Structure formats: C-alpha cells, structure tokens
Amino acid sequence: MTANTIGLAILLLGIVLLVAKLVRVRWRLAQRLFIPSSVIGGGLALLLGPEIFGGLAALVGTDRFTDGGLFGEPVLDVWSTLPGLLISVVFAALFLGHRVPKPREAGRLAGPQIAFGITLGSGQYVIGILLAILVLTPVFGMSPMVGALIEVGFEGGHGTAAGLGDTFAELGFEEGQDLALGLATIGLLSGIIVGIGLVNWGVRRGKTAELKPNQGISVAEQRGIVERESRSAAAMLTVRPSSVEPLALHFGLLALAVALGQLLLWGLQELEQWLWADRVELLAYVPLFPLAMVGGVLVQLAVDRFDRSGIIDRLMIERIQGFALDLLIISALGTLSLQVIADNLVPFLLLAGAGIAWSVGAFLLLAPRMIPNYWFERGIGDMGQSLGVTATGLILMRIADPELRTPAYQAFGYKQLMLEPFFGGGLITAASIPLIAQFGPQPLLIAMSVLLVLSLLVGLLYFGRLGPQRPTTSQPAEPPNRGGSLT
C-alpha cells in the first residue's frame, strides 16, 4: 500500500461523491426520500466493485475485474481501512464548539427525550439479544454477538458499524461488520421512508402541532440545494489566515482530541493488564472512537476554561466532521460484502424486521405517553435516529417542524449530549461486543432489561404525568450532527 495508492483511493472517493451528488440532483426518488449523497455514492461504489461489476464481467468472459472491480484491489484495500480511521475524527468532533450545558439545564428540557432515547437504545439490545438466544444462535448457529447488531447498525449507523470492524475481526465474528453495515443501510432507508409516511399520517390525524396539510418543503431542499436568498456562511473565520489557516487550526484541535483519546485508551488497556487481564479482557477490544469523543469533551472543557477569544467555530468543525463521514460511508459501503448478507439472509431479515418494528412501535405507543408536549415533533427525531443516524432524525424533525417553532431541536441536542457518550457508538455500543464475547449474552441482556424498565418507569410515571411545558422562546440550537451531510 504505497502513498500514491492512498492518494488515488482518496481522489476516487471524491469523484464518486461528486457523481453521487449529481445523481441526487437528478433522481426524483432520491430527493423525495432524502437519501444522502454519501449513501448513493456508497451504492455506486458497491455496484462498480468486484461482487457486482466484477461478477458481470466474469459472465462475459473476463476475470480482470474479479478481485477489485473497476477500482482495483489496491484501492479497495485502502478503502477498507479508512472507516476505522475516519470514525475517530467524526466522534472527536461531536462536542467541540458546543458549550457543555449544566446537567439541570439540559435535564429540565430534554428529560423526557432522554428517557425515550434510553428506552429505544436499551430496547434494541433486549430484542436483539433475545432474538440471538432464542433463534439466531440455536437455529442458525450464529455467534451470540449478533444480538448487538440492531443497536450497532441502526442507532450506531454506518460509521459505528465500520468503526467496529477490527473488534469484530479480533473476536472471530468477521461477518458482523458486513451484517451491521447492511442493517445500517436498511435502517437509514426505512427511517426516511417510514418517517415521511408517519409525518403524513400525523398531519392528516392532527398529531402535528405546527405542520398543516399542504405544507411542506421546497423542491430545492429536496434536491439538496440551498436557495440563493437563503445562503449563509458555511463556516466563520475565528483567526486570521495570515497567522494560521482556520481549517488547519480546527483540524489540529480535532487531532489533539483523537490523540487524547488514544492516550486514554492506552492507559485503560495498561490498567486492565495490571489488574484483571488474567481473568477477563475487555478494553483490548474497545476501538478508539468512543475515547476520541471523550478527548473532544476534554478539549472543549479546556477551551471553555482558558479561551477568551472564541477560536473554535462549530460550523467549521461540522464541515470537517461531515467531510470525514461522507468519505467513511462511501468507503464502508463500497467494500461491503454482499455474499455475507446473502449467506445469512434470514437472520439479517429477522434483525432488520425486529429493529424496525421496535422503533416504530415505540414511537407510536410510548412517545405520546413519555413526552408531555410536542410529542410528535420530538419523538419523530428520536425514532429516525434509532433507525438511521442523527441526520435521519434531523430530516424528519425539519419536515415535521419546518419553521423550528417547537423545542424539538433544542431538546434533541441536549439529549444527544447526554446519550451520545453511551449509545449509538458510545461506550456501551463499543463495549457490547467484547462483553458478549467474554461473558455471554445473558449479563448484557439483564443489564439492558433493567435499564429499559427504569427508563420506561421514569418516562411513563414521571415525565408522562407532567402537564404541557411552555416551550423555550430562544432559537433552538441544532444538535451535534453525527450524521454528517444531509445531501
């Protein structure tokens, strides 16, 4: 793997993304479903890869494309390693540029959504592990670790599924990454399709507080284009380019966050070796990205304490984060093994069906009883995130509340700050695979069941009984966008 090969692989990712954006602009179905260009690009890369393009070429008598498809095997080797690197950048950026709120401030507004979000996340583990114990392991002979894939693929998304690739491989469950990536794709598409259907149902039934019939989003928004009169700066200059390029400065802050995460991970792994590695070993299999997120929090705390100039621009951080995530998704989907999914098609469909049924059912049955006001606008975002990624939830909230008049965005953002370190790619997600490998599925099932019951009790018996709260009059702050670019 030479430097020239790495450079060519990254250039090809850029070209694929550009072609995917052109497809998004022209393809009406993709516009209506708000499919991100990165997912379209990943699909194009998969089509031109060895399993589809290479297979078709073999049918016409040439095996030239069997190993690497149209891109070549060296490029695919680079792409297969990128997700594990880029996911640390994505997670390090989650909290940079955000003021860390006081717990009481965040809990007052986002408490109901925190309870609902924990219910969704812990429920995915409970359903997945029960499915593994009762059906997938005894009937299909799959590893018990398959029980964690609903949360990894759905709530975690493509980035988390790709980032856990080394963990799956080290624990002898190599097919887990391909299954999780497939679930992430199914979850993303179903989140958009089902979510838009639910918004239309909510409008007709009077469930939405702001959106009324015949009200929607513009053609330009569907195409992913910002109209000229609505355009604004994608980032702000906080330092003078004559002293340091602002993009380079923010990249340096992200690099520092990732480096701190790596130091934390090494330290925890060394501590484990000293204390209990002879009995059980967990931290050796934990990937870097959840610790990179902790590194981002530490950098932000230091900035809050010592920076008086406001050098961090959140918009610039989001541009770097979105860039990394777009490349991650294309490279991950482009190296996805369809054969693994085909070999495990029935378990894959069972996991996907159970995950979709849980998220949609929880939204329809539990959200109205756990969120005391604006339950539809606030719950639809959590449902979308539990099926896809943060971007999916943001899209659905924007459709249900196009003028941002409800507290949905602000509550969602505070909820993300509370839940992001644990679910959807956080510490619980990263530790779930090695925990099942070391102790079996039962302990994690018990822990998640207890967490599910507690979140249900708090949501239904406390928050659900509160009267409607007055929404904040301040402009809702957009939450940290783990989903990257929406286009």
Of the listed ranges 23-32, 69-78, 358-367, 416-425, the one predicted with least confidence = 416-425
Confidence of residue 486 (pLDDT cuts 50, 70, 90): very low
pLDDT at 466 over 90: no
Q: What is the pLDDT of residue 477?
A: 40
Query: What pLDDT, in 10s, does the model give residues 128-180?
Result: 999 999 999 999 999 999 999 999 989 887 778 878 888 898 888 988 988 99
Q: Which of 13-17, 24-28, 105-109 has the highest mean pLDDT?
A: 13-17
Q: What is the pLDDT of residue 471?
A: 45
pLDDT at 487 over 60: no
Query: What pLDDT, in 10s, does the model give residues 212-236?
Result: 665 555 676 667 677 777 677 777 8
Mean pLDDT of the chain: 83
pLDDT at 473 over 50: no
Of the listed ranges 267-281, 352-366, 470-484, the one predicted with least confidence = 470-484
Of the listed ranges 152-166, 324-338, 465-479, the one predicted with least confidence = 465-479
Q: What is the pLDDT of residue 298?
A: 92
Q: What is the pLDDT of residue 281?
A: 62
Q: What is the pLDDT of residue 413?
A: 67
Query: What pLDDT, in 10s, does the model give residues 403-451?
Result: 667 878 777 767 776 787 688 777 788 889 989 998 999 999 999 999 9
- 334 HSE (CA, 13 A, CB side): 36
CA distance 79 to 157: 18
Q: Return the structure tokens found at 172.
A: 């002898």
